[in-house]
Structures are given as structure tokens and as C-alpha cells.
Amino acid sequence: MKVDLYNLAGKITGQQELADEVFNVKIKPEVVHEVYIAQMANQREAWADTKGKGEVRGGGKKPWKQKGTGRARHGSTRSPIWKGGGVVFGPKTERNYKAKINVKTRRLAVRMCLSDKAMGKQLLVAENFTFDQPKTKLCQAFIKSMNLIGKKVLFLANGKDELLVRVSKNLPKVTVLPARDVNVLALLSAQVVIADKTGVLELEKVLK
């Protein structure tokens, strides 16, 4: 598969060959869905926490004597049937939402997402991300030249590109990731993916 190659002025300067093993695979939505759900679950943290009968404050004294009052027997006001008492089987912070996903399945899902972007003309390749100055307006001008204003853009570079991170950090709908760290959630969240030539090579090296 071949796609257009752009410079930072938004002009087409040539063609970039993409490996079919990474950017032109058969898409199976159920595989992508499985990995997406697992990734979302792995990001989830257990915040809700309730106290049981033995954890709530007070309730040490028996509310009334065992017999002779005509009322039901009670040993503590912290019983779950009392207002302000403990909670039975309530949520705890120890709960584990983690889901395991096989490495091969995860990489297959990433290849499927990249293939979907490539087939839908939502995967663009730039010559490089070497801006003349570390200024946000240069990155914004590049995005504007590609007619991507208002869209969620994901930049994929080879390694951690400090310059690219700096020029894009103030743009609200722009995300930067090292190509080797690309994942299903990031790809599905982005409307357009832009990788440079070295980023494409890194993707092919990791995902082939």
C-alpha cells in the first residue's frame, strides 16, 4: 500500500510505501472490541469504599437490655439494619478490575486499527516533525495546511520527540505518542493519525 508523503508546509512531496502486514490486514471488530474493553478496564481504579459493621464508629454499648422492653433484640447500633450502621457487601477499594490481554491479540488489534485508518484516508505520513522553532503556531499552521483544524489528531514519532511535544502541548485536540507505544484506545480516540517516516518504520518493526 502506498500513501502520499507530506512536508511541514502541507505539500505532497512523494509517496510512502506501507507494509501490508501492518497497514492492510483484515479487520475483525470483535478483536478490537476485546482489546479496547481490556484497556479501559486496566485504567479503571476502585474509588468507592464502604465500611462494614466492624469499621463504623460507635456502637459499643448495647442499645437496650436483652429482655423486658417489648422491642426486638439488638446488640449494636452499628448493625447494617440501623441507620448509620455498616454496609453489607458494599464496594471496597481492594476490588481489582484488571483484565489480561495476550500480546499477540493486542498487536493484532493495533494493526487492525492502523489498517482502518489507512483504508479510510485517515493515516497521513509526514517527511519529519523537525520544526524550525519550538513554537506552537508552527504546529498549528501545519495542522491547518492539512485541513485538520477542529479534529482530534494523533502524532506518532520515532521515540520521544521533545520538540514535537513542545510545539503541540498547547493544542487541545492534539496528542503525541512514540510510535512503539501506540495502542487501540489512542487510535480509536483520534480522527486522524499523522506519522513521520521514521515513525512508520518503527511501527512496522514493532508490529510485523
Q: Which residues contact 127 (CB under 8 A, 6 or more apart)?
A: 5, 6, 7, 8, 13, 196, 197
Cα 36 to Cα 30: distance, rounded to the nearest angstrom = 10
Cα 116 to Cα 82: distance, rounded to the nearest angstrom = 57
Q: Which three cell numbers stand for residue 151?
A: 479534529
Q: Answer whether 115's CB lies under 8 Å from 24's CB.
A: yes
Query: 31 exposed, middle or buried (CB, 10 Å; 0-12, 13-18, 19+)?
Result: middle
Q: What is the mean pLDDT of each run of 10 residues along the chain (208 residues)?
A: 90 93 95 96 91 89 93 93 93 90 95 95 93 92 93 92 90 93 95 94 92
C-alpha distances out from residue 53 to 11, 63, 66, 199, Å: 69, 15, 20, 56
* pLDDT given at position 208: 84
Q: Which three cell numbers stand for residue 137?
A: 503556531
Sort residue 181 into left (φ over 0), alpha (ψ -120 to 50) or beta: alpha
* pLDDT given at position 190: 96
Is the model's pTM score more than 0.75? yes
* pLDDT given at position 159: 82
Q: Answer whether 125's CB lies under 8 Å from 5's CB.
A: yes
Listed by start position, the domains of the chain span 2-44+98-207, 47-96
* pLDDT given at position 156: 95
* pLDDT given at position 186: 95
Range 2-44+98-207 classified under CATH 1.10.150.450: no
Cα 121 to Cα 193: distance, rounded to the nearest angstrom = 10
